[in-house]
């Protein structure tokens, strides 16, 4: 797979900032925004960046300057979005199983609210009635996504209000005079089949006819990106064309035009990110040759958690003779990134580069084994800057209370 940042530049960054290191390419993010805008240009559309993919405030600010809104799933993401420059009205807060106080905090900040359960809707109605408009997250009961753990629209999912409970929703809306300004769904991530989106769209647009004050319908996202060479991706051009026909039919039946929203996260930042790690050891056993890195699933957990594939390049020795390695980490744990992976000869000290590391890489990192989380660097054309420093021992201790002096027994 091609690198949007040259191997020489990545090696330079690894030397300057140390490893492990996350590197993001600003121009790749901008290019993905343009692809979306072109694919869905046939109808009024707005994109909200799904912040959970990567919330470094420098990335948020870059995306805000591209004219996108923000999809936030925690009050902290809302606060970061506001700090990055997003206007409150351009932030949609879609929490799940949170305390009502978190919803109250978001309302006080003036952001848009998306409610995904009947108890929460009823609680909202009692306190706010028609004072504050809301959107509703609907679960269409569609199984979609590249892994069960990232499928969010099926019947056993905790997300959203069941589409079979809409009659109850209508009763609560009428009882409290709630102003419903949006309907929302999100069926999962890594969805390849355009028809999955269209089935969900048909269900959501059918429900929209029951809510006369809508300003938007939000179809979430889940567009698949390429993780392997020749990997298929979601055909967003085809989706845009077919959605345009459905939108035209809906508006004629609804009696006026409304906005369509999408919430891309991984699609925008995944391919922009590279994770760099240095080889500590090349260890041969009776069964395998291990390339042991200075990292582990504490820094990139997706292969362990989702069995996710990440393409790996040896950017220190790209023209070396091809050999087979199991790429592993340095944790006191089985932390295997890849079994039996063909790579140019790997030597101690080489830098291995993990592709597609922009989404959920740093965000899901931890201090397991009391290891420090990596630094982050943003490359913008010929320029680059560090946007997060590497943690230190002081950071690990910062939230821990100091040891108390021993008190002698009387």
Residues that are catalytic = 332
46 by Cβ neighbours in 10 Å (0-12 / 13-18 / 19+) ranks as middle
- 230: left (phi > 0), else alpha (psi -120 to 50), else beta? left
Count other C-beta atoms under 10 Å from residue 147's C-beta.
14
Going from the C-alpha of 331 to that of each of 292, 313, 346, 395, the distances in angstroms are 10, 21, 20, 20
How far apart are the C-alpha atoms of 93 and 74, rounded to whole Å? 7
């Amino acid at each position: 797979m091609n690198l949007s940042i040259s191997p020489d530049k990545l090696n330079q960054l690894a030397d300057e900032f140390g490893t492990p290191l996350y590197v993001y390419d600003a121009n790749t993010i901008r290019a993905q925004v343009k692809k979306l805008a072109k694919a869905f240009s046939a109808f009024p559309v707005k994109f909200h960046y799904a912040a959970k993919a990567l919330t470094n405030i420098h990335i948020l600010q870059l995306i805000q300057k591209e004219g996108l809104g923000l999809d936030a799933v925690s009050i902290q993401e809302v606060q970061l979005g506001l700090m990055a420059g997003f206007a409150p009205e351009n932030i949609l807060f879609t929490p799940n199983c949170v305390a009502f106080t978190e919803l109250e905090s978001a309302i006080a900040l003036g952001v848009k609210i998306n409610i995904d359960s009947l108890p929460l809707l009823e609680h909202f109605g009692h306190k706010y009635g028609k004072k504050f408009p809301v959107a509703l997250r609907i679960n269409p009961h569609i199984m979609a996504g590249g892994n069960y753990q990232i499928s969010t629209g099926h019947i056993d999912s905790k997300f959203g209000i069941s589409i079979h409970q809409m009659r109850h929703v209508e009763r609560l809306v009428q009882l409290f005079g709630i102003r419903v300004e949006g309907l929302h769904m999100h069926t999962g991530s890594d969805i390849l089949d355009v028809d999955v989106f269209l089935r969900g769209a048909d269900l959501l647009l059918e429900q929209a006819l029951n809510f006369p004050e809508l300003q938007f319908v939000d179809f979430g996202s889940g567009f698949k990106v390429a993780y392997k060479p020749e990997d298929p991706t979601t055909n967003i051009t085809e989706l845009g064309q077919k959605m345009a026909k459905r939108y035209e039919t809906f508006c004629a039946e609804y009696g006026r035009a409304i906005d369509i929203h999408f919430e891309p996260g991984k699609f925008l930042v995944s391919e922009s990110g590279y994770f760099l790690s240095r080889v500590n050891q090349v260890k041969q056993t009776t069964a395998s040759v291990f390339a042991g890195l200075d990292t582990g699933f504490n820094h990139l957990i997706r292969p362990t958690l989702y069995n996710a594939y990440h393409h790996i390049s040896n950017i220190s020795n790209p023209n070396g003779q091809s050999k087979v390695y199991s790429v592993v980490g340095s944790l006191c744990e089985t932390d295997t990134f890849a079994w039996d992976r063909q790579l140019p000869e790997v030597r101690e000290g080489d830098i291995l580069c993990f592709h597609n590391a922009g989404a959920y890489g740093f965000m899901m990192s931890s201090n397991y084994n009391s290891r420090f989380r990596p630094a982050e660097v943003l490359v913008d054309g010929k320029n680059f800057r560090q946007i997060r420093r590497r943690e230190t021992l002081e950071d690990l201790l910062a939230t821990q209370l100091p040891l108390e002096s021993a008190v002698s027994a009387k």
